[in-house]
């Protein structure tokens, strides 16, 4: 059975075929010598593509309706009580509707993973367990998902909750990057490279034509794979606390890897391209900038100026850096002993713009191994293309490489290994919205 993204890709392909044949028909009809046979063939192909589009469009709308129904059925399961009780906790009694506890957002994925782990990946048995435990909505959603060697497909509304929970955990998302659907597997977005013009003139003077120029941003989905080992002792009971642990561990490893990708990956192979490598060469000072108040202030002002002078809208501008670099800047003083940037401690801002910190920005770059990176950007110009899907799988036999680089056996260590897969990509709407520099010894340890 095709999933929603497959159906959307089929609809997009049919629409593109319609456009292609419409152009061909126009050319044939405009030709001096009409080729009736070619015209008839093109019309037939257009009609076929139109039929395919209509069928695909109906299939997409049906699947969207199914997913919306699954989301509605699953709502509240993360916090509901014992199976067999009514809405009010007593048979047949009702109680006023209550908003879902924000702390329980995304727990459906945790319960789903726990049920699959307890039943060794058997979906039918996992559904039965969820129903016995009083999570019939989650069980119904799991029962309707597709299963493959890649794992179980989490219903899109539940996956969307998990992705939304990444926002406060991932620097680029938290700073205001826009999320753009990539449901057809690719992001196609036009960016304006030459502006429109306006001019004054007399009442009867002709208006000068204005023709802005455009370029395109084409990105394809990149696959993020998160591995989360969990103690089997913890998995013995499918409680809210256990589901929270599984959910939060998944979010933690996904957030750390997204941070690195959206900030510093170079776009090679299957990696997204991050802020550092989207920045134009003229907007990045490899320096490095020295650890002095004068040098720091000049570099900071230059970064802001480069973005502002590029006519960027400056809707949600901000800085990304290591916490150590932020602390170093907060400690700088002028010749009179006054703090150079008192707003850092007072408001968490630098030159009036918020600072976002992450340990995923290195502090051991450069020849001397003492450099870090400071980035300034208008994050409203940054786009994260989301595939919108999540697949989860589990194993008690698989091996994994831990943080120390050692291979560990899940079976030998009495662990269950969870794997979550999501897809996304990252790109700025305008590269000029990014500026930054390398800085050497910007830490209190080096001071």
pLDDT at 86: 35
Distance CA(374)–CA(350), nearest Å, equals 12
Q: What percent helix, strand, coil does the chain show, rounded to 5?
A: 40, 25, 35
Q: Per-10-residue mean pLDDT for the chain, 447 residues long?
A: 73 87 87 84 91 89 75 51 36 42 80 86 86 82 69 80 86 92 59 54 61 57 87 76 87 91 93 95 96 97 97 95 97 94 97 96 95 97 88 86 84 88 90 97 83
Residues 6 or more apart whose Cβ sits within 8 Å of residue 219: 182, 186, 187, 385, 425, 426, 427
Distance CA(161)–CA(125), nearest Å, equals 25
pTM: 0.71
Q: Tell how strand 382-395 and strand 415-428 pair up.
A: antiparallel
Could you give the residue ranges of the DSSP H alpha helices within 332-426?
Answer: 343-347
pLDDT at 329: 98
pLDDT at 447: 57
The answer for 333, left when phi > 0, alpha when psi is -120 to 50, beta otherwise, is beta
Contact 380, 315 (CB under 8 A): yes
Residues 6 or more apart whose Cβ sits within 8 Å of residue 73: 137, 140, 141
- 154 to each of 70, 103, 143, 252, 375, how far by Cα in Å? 11, 20, 10, 18, 35
Residues 6 or more apart whose Cβ sits within 8 Å of residue 314: 307, 308, 378
Q: Which residue, among 161, 132, 135, 130, has the nearest Cα to 79 in the 3D structure?
A: 135
Q: Which residue, among 407, 348, 382, 33, has the nearest Cα to 176 in the 3D structure?
A: 382
pLDDT at 191: 53
């Amino acid at each position: 059975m095709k999933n929603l993204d497959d159906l959307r890709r089929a609809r997009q392909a049919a629409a593109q075929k319609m456009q292609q044949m419409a152009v061909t028909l126009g050319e044939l009809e405009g030709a001096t010598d009409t080729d009736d046979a070619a015209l008839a063939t093109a019309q037939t192909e257009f009609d076929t593509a139109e039929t395919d589009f209509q069928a695909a469009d109906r299939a997409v709308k049906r699947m969207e309706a199914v997913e919306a129904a699954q989301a509605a059925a699953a709502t509240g399961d993360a916090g509901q009580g014992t199976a067999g009780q009514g809405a009010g906790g007593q048979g047949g009694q009702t109680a006023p509707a209550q908003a879902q506890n924000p702390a329980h957002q995304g727990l459906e994925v945790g319960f789903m993973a726990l049920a699959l782990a307890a039943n060794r990946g058997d979906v039918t048995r996992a559904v039965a367990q969820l129903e016995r435990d009083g999570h019939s909505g989650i069980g119904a959603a799991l029962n309707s998902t597709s299963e493959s060697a890649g794992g179980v497909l989490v219903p899109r509304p539940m996956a969307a909750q998990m992705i939304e929970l990444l926002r406060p955990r991932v620097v680029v998302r938290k700073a205001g990057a826009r999320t753009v659907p990539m449901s057809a597997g690719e992001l196609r977005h036009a960016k304006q490279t030459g502006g429109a013009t306006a001019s004054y003139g007399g009442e009867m003077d002709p208006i000068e034509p204005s023709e802005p120029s455009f370029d395109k941003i084409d990105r394809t989905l990149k696959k993020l794979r998160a591995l989360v080992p969990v103690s089997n002792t913890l998995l013995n009971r499918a409680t809210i606390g256990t589901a929270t642990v599984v959910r939060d561990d998944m979010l933690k490893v996904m957030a750390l890897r997204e941070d690195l990708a959206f900030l510093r990956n170079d776009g090679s192979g299957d990696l997204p391209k991050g802020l550092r490598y989207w920045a134009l060469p003229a907007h990045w000072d490899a320096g490095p900038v020295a650890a002095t108040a004068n040098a720091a202030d000049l570099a900071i002002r230059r970064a802001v100026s480069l973005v502002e002078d590029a006519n960027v809208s400056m809707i949600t501008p901000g800085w990304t850096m290591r916490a150590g670099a932020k602390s170093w800047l907060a400690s700088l003083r002028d010749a009179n002993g006054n703090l150079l940037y008192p707003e850092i401690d007072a408001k968490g801002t630098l030159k009036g713009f918020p600072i976002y910190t992450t340990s995923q920005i290195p502090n051991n770059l450069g020849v001397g191994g003492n450099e870090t990176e400071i980035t300034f950007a208008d994050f409203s110009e940054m786009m994260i293309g989301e595939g919108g899907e999540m697949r989860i799988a589990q194993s008690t036999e698989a091996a994994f490489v831990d943080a120390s680089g050692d291979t560990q056996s899940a079976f030998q260590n009495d662990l269950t290994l969870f794997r979550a897969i999501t897809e996304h990509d990252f790109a700025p709407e305008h590269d000029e919205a990014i500026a930054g520099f390398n800085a050497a010894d910007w830490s209190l340890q080096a001071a």
